[in-house]
Amino acid sequence: MTQEYVELDRIDRAILHELQLDAKLSNQSLAGTVNLSESACLRRVRRLEASGMLRGYVGLVDQSMAGYPDNVFVQITLTSQQQDDLAAFEAAVSEIPEVMECYLMSGAADYILRVIVEDARDYERVHSQWLTRLPGVARVNSNFALRTVIKKTEIPIRRPGGASRSGERSHRRA
């Protein structure tokens, strides 16, 4: 489901940036950082929440310390791409606790999953108890990640004209 782009000004972008860095930031600290009064800052945060742009606040748990040091990227090919079959697969895969992400894809595989596991033996359990029993599965192709190179949680906030904070596009005329 694609959502409509929400138009943001400089202060909205600053608020989102700061909250992505520290969701526990008090309204007082946030207001000071973005140079607003506390009441104006709180109104903007509430507006961002109401628009759906700011969807919630979470604590980031260390995956390895929680007992899941390994990531497995699993390509799933189904026997059919009929809407009912896709819906049945998606409902079933959402019940697997170790599946952290699931994407409907274009290309050779129908879905790509990110599965977190303790080790190869644990993945064998997930594979045999869950993945091979999902409805409509024709093929499962698994790839263990050797190392995480980049893992971001901060979404770049676009500026008017499509530039993000990190990838500024020049809008100056010569």
Residue 169 located in a structural domain: no
What angle is formed at CA 39 by the lines to CA 36 and CA 40, rounded to 5 degrees? 45
User: Over its length of 174 residues, how does the chain's per-residue pLDDT go in tens digits?
Assistant: 455 677 899 999 999 999 999 999 999 999 999 999 999 999 999 999 999 999 999 999 999 999 999 999 999 999 999 999 999 999 999 999 999 999 999 999 999 999 999 999 999 999 999 999 999 999 999 999 999 999 999 999 877 655 555 444 333 333
Whether 138 and 74 share a structural domain: yes
Whether 92 and 125 share a structural domain: yes
* Helix ranges restricted to H, the chain: 10-21, 27-34, 38-51, 83-93, 120-129
Residue 173 located in a structural domain: no
Answer yes or no: are the C-beta atoms of 111 and 104 closer than 8 Å.
yes
Residue 47 located in a structural domain: yes
pTM for this one?
0.83
| pLDDT computed for residue 158 by the predictor | 76
Whether 95 and 137 share a structural domain: yes
| pLDDT computed for residue 165 by the predictor | 52
| pLDDT computed for residue 7 by the predictor | 84
| pLDDT computed for residue 161 by the predictor | 58
Residue 149 located in a structural domain: no
For residues 34 and 30, give the distance between their C-alpha atoms in angstroms, rounded to a whole number.
Answer: 6
| pLDDT computed for residue 157 by the predictor | 87
Residue 113 located in a structural domain: yes
Number of domains present in the structure of the chain: 2
Task: Give the residue numbers spanning the domain of 37.
Answer: 10-51
CATH number at residue 87: 3.30.70.920
Whether 75 and 128 share a structural domain: yes
Residue 159 located in a structural domain: no
| pLDDT computed for residue 141 by the predictor | 98
Answer yes or no: are the C-beta atoms of 53 and 16 closer than 8 Å.
yes
